[in-house]
A = this chain, B = another copy of it.
C-alpha cells in the first residue's frame, strides 16, 4: 500500500511509511528567534546580543536557540526569553517562519520568529552575556544571518498590529500618563499625532483606569496616571475588530 509514486506524496502513505519519514533522515534543525521590543526614554528599543560566529564577528543578532525535539515552539520562545534575560510573564506572539535553505552558516536551520513586548522599567535585565542590551530601532542595520530581515518583518508587524490591538501597554510601566502612551505610539509608528484627538480616541476605547494619581517631579504641570484594564480588554477581545486609528 505504500506509495511508489513520489508524485502522490503522503496521500497514499500509511502511518508506518510516515513514521519512517518522520524519524528518518529528512529532519531539519528548527530554531526560534525572538525580536524583543522595549520602550525607554521615549524610544523604541530592541534587545540584541553579539554574534560570536566567525562569519558574523562583531555583528549583532537576535536572541534565539534551537527547539528541543520534545518542546513546543511556543515554550521554546518563552524559554529563550527566560534564559537570556531572566524575564518571565511577557507578551509573546509568533510572527513568521523563515525557511530558506542557506540562511544559517551552520547548516539547514528553519527559524520561527517571535515578537515580544516587555516593559523596561519593571524588567531589568538580569543576564548580560554577549553584551546583551537595548538598541534604538532607528539605528539597527546589518544584523547577523538574516536577522535584519526578521527584525524588519517583526517591526512592520508591530506597527500594523498596534493599530489594531492595544498591545502597546505591554511596553509601558503599570502606571503611565497619556503623554507616555502617545510618545509610545509616536515612537513605534514614527509619526506625530494630535494630542487632543489621541486622548479622545483612547478615552472612547474605555480601557484606561484613572488612578487618581499624578506624575511626580516633572518640571511642569503633572499629568494624571492611568493603568490599562487588561481584564476588560480580554473580555472584549473575542469580538475585537480593531482600534481604527
Contacts and interface: CB of A to CB of B under 8 A. Distances in A.
Interface of A: 1, 7-15, 18-19, 21-23, 25-30, 49, 52-55, 63-74, 80, 83-84, 94, 96-97, 99-101, 104-110, 112, 127, 129-130, 132
Contacts of A67: 26, 28, 99, 110
B7 A83 contact: yes
Given A7-B127, A15-B54, 20 more contacts: A8-B129, A9-B84, A10-B65, A11-B63, A11-B84, A11-B129, A11-B130, A11-B132, A12-B52, A13-B52, A15-B105, A19-B107, A21-B29, A22-B106, A22-B109, A27-B30, A27-B69, A28-B29, A70-B101, A73-B97
Given A13-B52, A18-B53, A129-B12, A29 B29 contact: no
Contacts of A8: 83-84, 127, 129
Given A10-B65, A52-B13, A73 B22 contact: no
Q: Which secondary structure dominates where chain A touches chain B?
A: mixed
B73 A99 contact: yes
12 contacts: A10-B66, A11-B132, A19-B106, A22-B107, A22-B109, A25-B69, A28-B30, A30-B110, A67-B99, A69-B108, A73-B97, A99-B112
